[in-house]
Structure 1
Amino acid sequence: MIILIISLMAILASSLYMYFTQYLTTGIIWWSFPVLFLVFWLLSFLLFYGILAIMTLFMNPKKVVVHPYKFYSLMIAWTTRFLATFYRLDIVFENDHLLPHNSKFFLISNHQSNLDPIALLAVMKKHTVTFIMKDSLLNLPVIGPWLRTSGYLPLDRKNDRKALEVVALAIKRIKDGKALGVYPEGTRSRGPKMNEFHHGIFRVPQKAEAPIVVVAIDNLYRVKKRFLWTRTKVLIRICEVIPYEDIKNKTTADISLRAQTSIQKALDEARAKYSWLN
């Protein structure tokens, strides 16, 4: 959608420029249109995101939003799809039929790259998913305020009180019918191997009485090194949806083990099936 909006802006600007500088004077020079379109597309892109950047000046950079604003969430969704195109991702999305019809769920995934949420949000078009993220990411200029206003929650691992506040807000968010995601590894693996999960976060779906959507992501760790010259196939597979009834009487360690085992099984199966994952 962002590409379409910027392209329409560029077409309009190019047409007006040609009308006033060519049609009304010496006549239209048709070969100049592609050049003008490219120039105005770049200018429109800078203008569009420049306006969004200026809007962050009026946002509270430290505010934790209880109820996400739909407009900002929509801008994040459009931007992730644009970035998926920019990074030349060829996303293979499997088992999307398993996703709950409503948005009251807790999503977890393995974590290979900073591009993981971009790829995931690019294909989750029917659901608005926000994430619990490291507070350092949400403190970045421009993108930080946008993510916060869209409903992303900052997790400060060095401050137990703030961490508990975020967990309580996450539980409330899901109870209110909003989807929330997290990477239980806590950090990127930067490769095909998966780190051990931190199981404490699985208390969130227990308290929220919500199902867990288990997602396997693969091959995104390769993208940044080669996106300039080749497209990269990446896998996003819904492994399973664990019903609340299956977790309500389990320990968080048991839930974590089931989720991680499910992801590892999906990764092993996919790597045996697809040569481009090896």
Structure 2
Amino acid sequence: MYSFLFVDDENLMREFFAEVVDFKEYGFELAGMFATAESALSFLAGHPEIKAVITDIKMGSMSGIDFCEKVREFNQDILLVVLSGYKEFEYAQRALRCNVFDYLLKPTLYEDIDMLFKRMKKQLDAKEELKKEGPSDGPVLDYQYESMIGRIKKYIDENYDKDISLDSVAQYVAMNPSYISRFFKQHTKCNFLDYVSRVRVDKAIACLADPTIRVGEICELVGYRTPQHFYKIFKQYTGCTPSEYRINVLGGTEEP
């Protein structure tokens, strides 16, 4: 069971979570409910076993976002979920900077809660597996890790021509963006962005072998929006520009 806290100054919301939602069904137990962010902070300081916090955004002297920022000062791993009746961009932007796991708008539907707890369970289970893995003499991963890495790579391979970000991959595999970055690096020994760049450069090289495709067109075909950025990344990985690679490595000719 994973322990979590619920923080909201509305009695009705606290009653809803306490009486309506069956946390044990998802593998969670409610360790505490608080009407103020200050009391929740005090509790968290003495209970490092808490794995997640669901908090309202507007509560008395300390908002839910201020609360999340305070929590992040001493705990980078806990899952933070913000409930808000506000659609303002500023709130969402600050929440992202706190690396919140999810940002739900009120009124919150039961279906939203159901999906939230399933996603949190999946993320926490993956974290626990990583802790249990321990040192290894080789790069062998179990099926679960291989499957997740395979899904991430598959997404990149199928979307290299689009704007790929940790957020877009996170949505695809239902994981937290910052966790994906660490997970991918640990199990592939390769930075996520480096892998994306490597895939794009490989695709560009394949395109360069076709003399009917101009270098400027290849830039867009492999997901770069400006030629300057494309040339910089390509040279970083190959040691030469795309045109030089086409002529000197592939034996092609200059573009007319």
TM-score (norm. length: structure 2): 0.28
- Say which structure, 1 or 2, has more relative contact order (CA 8 Å, 6+ apart): 1
TM-score (norm. length: structure 1): 0.27
Q: Highest Rg: 1 or 2?
A: 2
